[in-house]
Amino acid sequence: MSLQPDINSLLHNMRAQIQALTTQLAELQANPPATTPSVEKKFNKKVEVIADPVAFKGDRAQFAKWWIKLQIWVKANWDAFADDFEVATGVLSRLKGPVAGRYAQVRLQECYTAGVWPTWDNLKVEIEKYFKPQAEGNWARQQICSFKQGNMRMDDFVTRFLALSIQGGLGNEHGGAAGTQCEPPHCRTALSAGYEK
């Protein structure tokens, strides 16, 4: 029977705490603090999937690397762009240097004056036309013809070969045919297997 008073006092204390918390909750609901952001605002922030690709400074040798990063960045952040204006200014503002910067300045001025901004698909075609090295495909094909494994690991060799064939615009049949000239024979087999996937 000695437990009965302890339980009664415990229940009494719990009722008092519940009453105090209920009162506090009612006060907060009636007068919410102005500085506390709502839960919705805290959880609706955009998560950055890929880092900003920074600026292209006009080095055509670096264009392909920068261009793919920029395209992925635009796609990852597509919902953040309200319209063609924001996409175009976001992309063109990343063109720097004497040639790329001048191109961006002129293109931004043209769009601003006309009040017409290119769609993302049209802007991609336009930028590739001006900055993608035209001889890139020929260079890649030439590299494939003279490509040797040397001290390179076979998987690295196959990866580089396949990258060059993609860069050179070679289809599976052409890339595989170029790979048949490779030495040693097990590399030819690995390259052929890579094209069959």
- The rounded distance, in Å, linking the Cα atoms of 159 and 15 is 70
Residue 37's pLDDT is what? 52
Alpha helices (H) in 77-184, listed in sequence order: 84-92, 100-114, 120-131, 136-145, 154-167, 172-179
Q: Closest Cα partner for 86 from 120, 62, 57?
A: 120
C-beta of residue 108 within 8 angstroms of C-beta of residue 144: no
Give the pLDDT band (50/70/90) at residue 43: very low
What is the residue whose two structure tokens read 């597509």? Answer: 78
Residue 173, Cα to own-chain centre: how many angstroms?
31
Give the pLDDT band (50/70/90) at residue 191: low
- The rounded distance, in Å, linking the Cα atoms of 185 and 123 is 45
Dihedrals phi, psi of 95, to nearest 5 degrees: -95, 115
Listed ranges 61-65, 112-116, 141-145; the one with the highest mean pLDDT: 112-116
Task: Label residue 100 exposed, middle or buried (CB < 10 Å: 0-12, 13-18, 19+).
Answer: buried
Q: Report the DSSP beta bridge partners of residue 95.
A: 56
Listed ranges 19-28, 32-41, 135-144, 185-194; the one with the highest mean pLDDT: 19-28
Give the pLDDT band (50/70/90) at residue 48: low
pLDDT score of 39 more than 90: no
